[in-house]
Structure formats: C-alpha cells, structure tokens
Amino acid sequence: MIVRGRDVRARCTFCNEEAIYIVKHRKLRLCREHFIDYVKTEVENTIYRFEMLKNVKKLLIAVSGGKDSVTMLHILHQICRELGTEILGLTIDTEIGEFSRKQVETSVQVFKSLGIPYRVERFSDYGIDLLRPDLEKITRRPPCSVCGIAKRYIMNRVALEENCQAIATGHNMIDIAQYAIANILTGSLEYLTKLLPKVEEGPRMARRLRPLYFIDEKETKLYVETVKLPYVADRCPLSDSRETMQDTVRALVRELEDRHPGSIRSFVDKLVRRIIPSLKVPEERYGTCKICGMPSKGEVCSFCRIRMLLRGET
Ligand code: SF4
Ligand code: ZN
Ligand code: ZN
C-alpha cells in the first residue's frame, strides 16, 4: 500500500524518513531510499537462491520498455557490475505502429542512459508481420501466440549469436501466478514446469531467468516512478479488448494479494518448492529444426512453420 500525504505515523521502519511503501506481510514501512534497496535486495536474493548467474559470463537482458523490464534492467545493471558479469540489452520491435515505436524508443533511451550495449531486432527482418489482416487465418493462431513464439525464438537466437549463456526477462510475481492458475484451470499442467524462476539451458538453448519472480507489479511501478526511469504504460493495440479468461484470473490474483498480503508470494514460492517438483511431466525432448537448426520438438520448429505459412508454403 502506498502511503500518501504527510501522516506523521507513516515513517520508515529503518530511518524515520517519510514512508512511501508498506510491505504489509513483513510489516515494513519504507522510505524512498529503503524501498529502492528493498527491491534490489529481493532481486539479488532470487538470483542467489536459484544460482541464476552461475557460470554466466554474459547475460542478455530482454527489455520491452514496460515498467517490469525497465526495473529489471536497472537492477541487473548494478548487480552484474558488482559481479563482473557482462550484459547486453535486447529490444524486439514488434512493428505494431505507435505502440511498438514508443517501446523501442524508451528501451533504447534507458540502454543509452545506463551505457549498456544493445541490439534492436525487427519482426520484419524475420518475415513476421503481426498487422497482416489474414495472420490468424493463415497461421491458425491469435496474434499474441505468433508474437510470443517469435519473441522467444529471436531472444534465443540473439543469445546464441552473442555468446550469452542466459536470457533475463521481466515477468513479475503477478504474471507468474496468473499463468500458473490459468494453466491449472485448463489442465495444462505440463506448462507449469516452464514457469520456474530458472529454466536450465540445453543444446542451442540459453538458460532463461526471471529475476522479478517475487516482485509485485506494484513494486516495479513504484520503482520506475521513484527512480524516475522512463517506461511505456500503453496497452498493446492487438491485445484482446474483451475480457479473456487470463484477464479474469489476473484480476483475481490481484485481489487475493491485496486482500491477503503475501498470499501470492507464498503461492509462487510453493509453485517452485512443492507444486512443480511433484508433477510427473515427461521430460521434453528437443531435436533440431531442419530449416534453421534451432531446437525443435518436431522436424520444423514452430517459428519456421509460421514463417512458411506466411510465405504461402505448407
Ligand atoms: Fe505481442 Fe500480444 Fe503482447 Fe501485443 S499483447 S506485444 S501482440 S504478445
Ligand atoms: Zn528509510
Ligand atoms: Zn526453425
């Protein structure tokens, strides 16, 4: 809960400055400085607990320009500097008009202001056009599915090209709980294993890291505002304007955490420690895509399959 006004009782637990944030489940009131410290320490603890950066010499940090990825970049930049881990920023231009233009512009602005080397990859360079009117009909997938497959492919490809052993993405605690609950509701338990804070590397597959696993989206919003970092808050024009099941689950997750502080944090912790390890999901076997040479469950990977369909090949 954000404390507004000049309530004399709302003082930082550590230094008596005015508190701007309360961590209810820990009964902590934090001033600006101690809030920034708190978020960084939480991210650090997650990195150490899951040995995220073990054997990582170079880390690829995927940034969309939203509050989560900008917060992650700002914190990882400090942590990696302390550890001597090289970093490379990546932003993917989905080429969805003004929305993605702002995302790329903001990401590049943050990379430059922090002095972080970066790459910008464009969907059109990979043969993807999300604005094609017949996209859904041809690929038999909604735009978000094509977008997600393309982004994951491009991230992994860039990581391999740049000798990055791991990729960090900015999924926060609310995202993780939402995906997990939605997958439980639909019985897609095999997808839960992909929701760990660290998904180990494989042949031609970089390790995937979610350093914001225990960070609430409210905290990233307050972080960017407190540190005064630029970020894009717009909603993607291709996201469904009707309320989807995912939206409903997200609203429920939000309400749970607000009404019962710490409940979602405890849920994602149990996801890692108990729920996912207890699942008997057969290990996925990856071969090599015969077109691009990247990991694939079938002869041709999902990304190459989409590109073939868009080119009119079957
Ligand atoms: Fe891509 Fe869908 Fe997200 Fe838009 S809402 S950026 S199309 S995944
Ligand atoms: Zn303080
Ligand atoms: Zn392929």
Which of the ligands is closest to the CA of residue 240?
A: 1
Percent of the chain at pLDDT exceeding 90: 90
What are the phi and psi torsion angles at 290 (to 5°)?
-75, -15
What's the chain's average pLDDT? 94
Token output for 68: 């989560």
- Tens digits of residue pLDDT in 91-119: 999 999 999 999 999 999 999 999 999 99
Name the pLDDT band for 6 (thresholds 50, 70, 90). very low
Distance in Å, CA 158 to ligand 3 centroid: 14
Q: How many residues does the chain have?
A: 314
Token output for 225: 């505002």
Residue 243's pLDDT is 83
Q: Put residue 5 in one of left, alpha, beta given phi > 0 → left and psi -120 to 50 → alpha.
A: left
**Most ligand 1 atoms within 8 A of CB, residue of 236, 240, 247, 306 to mutate:** 236
**What integer is the mean pLDDT of 75-82?**
98
Asked if 30 and 42 count as a contact pair (C-beta separation under 8 A), the reply is: no
Residue 241's pLDDT is 73
DSSP letter assigned to residue 275: I
Architecture of domain 33-284: 3-Layer(aba) Sandwich (3.40)
Which of the ligands is closest to the CA of residue 37?
A: 2
CA 65 to chain centre: 11
Nearest CA to ligand 1 atom 8: 144
Distance in Å, CA 293 to ligand 3 centroid: 6
Going from the C-alpha of 26 to that of each of 42, 106, 265, 313, the distances in angstroms are 13, 34, 12, 57
Q: Which atom from ligand 1 is nearest to the alpha carbon of 148? A: 8
Residue 282's pLDDT is 77
166-168 and 207-209 beta bridge pairing = parallel
Please choose, from the candidates 91, 85, 70, the residue with its C-alpha nearest in 3D space to the C-alpha of residue 155.
91
pLDDT at 305 over 60: yes
Tell me if the pTM is above 0.85.
yes
Cα distance between residue 177 and residue 184, in whole Å? 10
Domain ranges within the chain, ordered by starting residue: 1-30, 33-284
- Tens digits of residue pLDDT in 248-303: 999 999 999 999 999 999 999 999 999 999 998 777 788 999 999 999 999 999 99
- Tens digits of residue pLDDT in 155-177: 999 999 999 999 999 999 999 99
Distance spanning both ends of the chain, measured CA to CA: 53
Which residue carries 């903001």 as its tokens? 106
- Residues framing ligand 1 (Cβ under 6 A): 94, 130, 143-144, 147-148, 236, 238-239
Distance in Å, CA 30 to ligand 3 centroid: 48
Name the pLDDT band for 9 (thresholds 50, 70, 90). low
**Most ligand 1 atoms within 8 A of CB, residue of 122, 147, 169 to mutate:** 147
Which of the ligands is closest to the CA of residue 286?
A: 3
Q: Which atom from ligand 1 is nearest to the alpha carbon of 130? A: 7
